[in-house]
Structure 1
Amino acid sequence: MKETLSPAFAEDTNDYIVHVDNAVTSLKVTPTVMDTAATIKVLDTDVTSESPSDELSLQVGKNSIPVVVKSIEGIENTYTLTVIRNASSPLVTSASTTEHSQTQSGLVITSEDGNAVTHLKISNIQGGALFKNDGTTVIQDGDFITIAEGNSGLKFTPTQYLNSVANDVFSFDVAAALDTTDSGLSNTAQATITVSEVNDEPIATDDTLSVKENAKAKIITFAELLANDKAGPENENNQSLA
């Protein structure tokens, strides 16, 4: 598989970048020179023009590969190819809580890429609000947090009255990052939160009744009295008042 240089090759440009997926653990460099008498070294190893170099191992993050071209007159020109291997998807634990309550544990995010991963990018927060471990510092869609903050575990507060039994969704996506940019960003992993339902307080509405002076006593049935009241939020409409 051929990778694309950025920028495109130009004789007076010496520095280039290539991005590869995390699954790419090695590659070969095939240099081409116009001067057939020139010699080429890729990472200090002789290479023939239009022939591939030895297999070069790639670590997660930046890999610097110098390509030195030396003319027959002894003039050297060094081109530097920086290969950025994307991080692997992080690991994240699930969490659970009840309606109206913030999670107390779980949502611990770790990386298998060692020191290469310094940050995590959060996105696609659904069903509530996400916080750092202190439970008060809000994390927004698109925010970067440090890997240390992810290791400490995050907190999630579900939106009021929503719960998993009602098929509401509580989750967010997280990608491992090499810095606070999208360079080397991994594929996302999804964190899921299960929210148990609680029996919310009924929603009562005041009743009014007009009675004429000296009118006879009027009997109000229990059903009439509760007609404008609700058992709770819409996702509890299968409950009844008693």
Structure 2
Amino acid sequence: MRLKGKTCVVTAAGQGIGAATARAFAREGASVWATDVDAEKLRPLSEVNGVRTRKLDVMDKQAINALARESGAVDVLFNCAGFVHHGTVLDATDDQWQFAFNLNVRSMFWTIQAFLPGMLEKGSGSIVNMSSAASSVKGAALRFIYGTTKAAVIGLTKSVAVDYVGKGIRCNAICPGTVQTPSLDERIATLGGGAEAKQFFMQRQPTGRFGSSEEIAALAVYLASDESAFTTGTVNVIDGGWSV
């Protein structure tokens, strides 16, 4: 019960890391607001004790603010929503660039802006932002737009951390390597599927396997809990040795 008595908001909780984290938070005693733009994907979580589900488009500022008013002051905000673009700088389009920054970065700006005031009133709070090891920590092929946005998330995280470190607020980033999720399955399918496409991702993992959503969720639990009270502004790499 490491999160007993805490209220947590999770974005992109419909699948993958977001869903695993919502479940992990609930198992640790938290009251969880699990959100996703696809309400149907949230259906399994609606049956989990301690979890309330809400449809939320994190690119809709008014919807975010409405959820912040409904939930009241929360203890933990886990920003997990994001999208992975494939390609180099010469492949990138203005529309892809804009979409990625809106979803991967601006959404965090808006959610933090909405939920931080309540944390400040309480005098405590933990914000956990999903970044990536890909290109933000270690160069990754064909991840120009994605890596740029995830590097921005690290800068955003450190800025929030330093501005509010004296007011009981912590802000940390998680940088996973390649994790087995529906998102990864979609990317493998985009490359044609099969063993060759899977190997494109597997070859960068020294451990010879992908990470699991549950392994990332375990780190999110630690950063959300009081066990990490002395931890803020950090970049937590969990990539199976990829960046070593």
Q: Under TM normalisation by the shorter chain, which class is it? A: under 0.3
* Larger Rg computed on CA atoms: 1
Alignment TM-score, normalising by the size of structure 1? 0.23
Structure with the larger RCO, 1 or 2 (CA within 8 Å, 6+ apart): 2
Alignment TM-score, normalising by the size of structure 2? 0.23
